[in-house]
Chain A
Amino acid sequence: MIIKSRLTKIISALVFSLTIWSCSSISVFSPEAYKQAVDLKVESLELMSFATSPYDDNEESVTYLKTELRKAYEFALGRPNNELSTEQWEILINEEGNLLGGFLKRWEAEGTLSEMFVTEMQTLVSDAFDTIIGLESGKIDPSELK
């Protein structure tokens, strides 16, 4: 009887610890974050295709896209246990980096960009968005934890 009672306590403690630990390691899936990333991927790649034409003709669209990207970053930053996704957004939109943020900055500085460079950067940026989308879609649905 004593053994059974002790055993119940051990199992309960183990299950409790594992449950608490497993729930706090990474954020759960967010349909909103997923949609945001997919939409921004499409919009970004579309706008990038205009980078062979003068920046001034597209300035308004670039400003709008930058705002939307910033919103996605802030949304990621505000979610609990979401450091990895936030860091991904940071790398993607960093103007001093060499993905979308750096691309838009270079377009602004140089006016126009070469066709091959634009095409190759679209592939890189597309893959970069896919890492964000891939991580988000891999997250556990909150309903699975119930």
Chain B
Amino acid sequence: MPTFNEFVSTLKIDLLDFAKENLEEYKDELLKDGTLFIEKTKSDLERWTEGLATGALSTTDFEFLLKGKKDLAQMEALKQLGLSKIRITKITNGIIDVVVGSAVKTFL
């Protein structure tokens, strides 16, 4: 008859494998999104500064665009926060599967 300790040991190993797999994937996604946003902001600023210098953009236009970029950053942050929550929900659902799977492996 398997003991509770055996179940805990199995569960620990299964959870560790699960966490490694999911967190690594999430870290990569976050880094990719963050880097893309910074690169885009840099090229936008270069273009807008040039537009300001040539007169294609007024000072009001330039300020409006900068503030718009700030609003966009807020929306992006909300998206990332939401996706994190979704990821946690998926991980939670995965944990449920791992717990049940470990229990089945140990006791049945």
Contacts and interface: CB of A to CB of B under 8 A. Distances in A.
A40 interface: no
A12 B100 CA distance: 9
B105 interface: no
Interface in B67-108: 67-72, 74-76, 78-79, 81-83, 85-86, 88-90, 92-93, 95-96, 99-100, 103, 107
A123 to B, nearest CB: 8
B107 A4 contact: yes
A3 B3 CA distance: 8
A98 B70 contact: yes
A115 B3 CA distance: 73
A59 to B, nearest CB: 21
B18 interface: no
B12 interface: no
Contacts of A140: 86, 89-90
Contacts, number: 126
Given A131-B79, A135-B78, A138-B86, A3 B71 contact: no
B78 A131 contact: yes
A82 to B, nearest CB: 10
B83 A128 contact: no
Nearest to B67: A98
B100 to A, nearest CB: 7
Closest 8 CB pairs of A and B: A98-B67, A22-B92, A98-B68, A116-B56, A117-B61, A131-B75, A131-B79, A84-B82
